[in-house]
Amino acid sequence: MVELQHGQEPAELSVFRAAYPAAQVPLFEDGAFQPAKLAAKAALNSLQGGLCVYCEQPVTSTGGQLEHIKPKRGAHARQDLCFVYSNYAQSCNHPRGTTCGQKKGDERLPIEPAPGCNVHWTLSTDGTIDRIRVENSPWPAEAEATLALLGLNDDSDLVDRRRDWFRSLLEVMRTDPRGLSNFLQSAPYRYILAASI
């Protein structure tokens, strides 16, 4: 998961909120919000290094979806955060909707994408993500629930791609340990890879 740290919100979002101070959730899909939505998505894409916040697969600046980390609808709705930049992330659009923000829907994440969030997981050599199983590990139930809610092990193609990148990481560590930093800066899945070594 990308260890997301929000910076300053895009100007388009500030302009939108100034024009619509009492904006409600339905306005999120309205044409009036589209310039702010596109600007937020582009800013997040840059901030997230071009990766989906949850699965860490590459996503373009115009692709994927503008994800509400805390949902705007449902039983856990935080409607007050619908137009707040620090509640946004860019998530991929999975073809079958079986991972990431599409799978999460309106549920609340036990562990959110933030600095240090990856201390809860490790990447196995087969490409699956598992919670760290050490005595007194922080929030073991929350770690498992987050993985399940996001479906991060549900797509075999995604698991296979992570496995292949993990093998590449091991090869770099074996043949060119000084190149490890450069490898991790450009690799997809870089956060879970780094958490696993």
The rounded mean pLDDT for the chain is: 94
Question: Is residue 4, in this structure, part of any structural domain at all?
Answer: no
Question: Is residue 6, in this structure, part of any structural domain at all?
Answer: no
Residue whose pair of structure tokens reads 């890879």 in the numeric block: 193
Between 77 and 94, name the one with better pLDDT. 77
Cα→Cα distances 37→12, 40, 152, 161, Å: 8, 5, 26, 30
Beta bridge partners of 65: 91
How far apart CA 40 and CA 27 sit, in angstroms, is 15
* Encoded tokens for 34: 């589209």
* Encoded tokens for 127: 């490409």
pLDDT of residue 183: 97
pLDDT band at 132 (very low <50, low <70, confident <90, very high): confident
Number of domains in the chain: 1
Question: Is residue 5, in this structure, part of any structural domain at all?
Answer: no
Domain that holds residue 88: 11-195
How far apart CA 183 and CA 193 sit, in angstroms, is 10
Average pLDDT, integer, range 31-42 = 97
* DSSP per-residue string spanning 66-103: EEESS-SSSTT--GGGTT-GGGEEEE---TTS-SHHHH
pLDDT of residue 137: 63
Residue 131 has pLDDT above 90, yes or no: no
* Encoded tokens for 119: 């201390």
Question: Is residue 3, in this structure, part of any structural domain at all?
Answer: no
Question: Is residue 78, in this structure, part of any structural domain at all?
Answer: yes
Question: Is residue 150, in this structure, part of any structural domain at all?
Answer: yes
Question: Is residue 2, in this structure, part of any structural domain at all?
Answer: no
Q: What is the pTM of this model?
A: 0.94
pLDDT band at 139 (very low <50, low <70, confident <90, very high): confident
Question: Is residue 191, in this structure, part of any structural domain at all?
Answer: yes
pLDDT of residue 136: 64
Average pLDDT, integer, range 106-119 = 95
Confirm if 11 and 43 have CB atoms less than 8 A apart: no
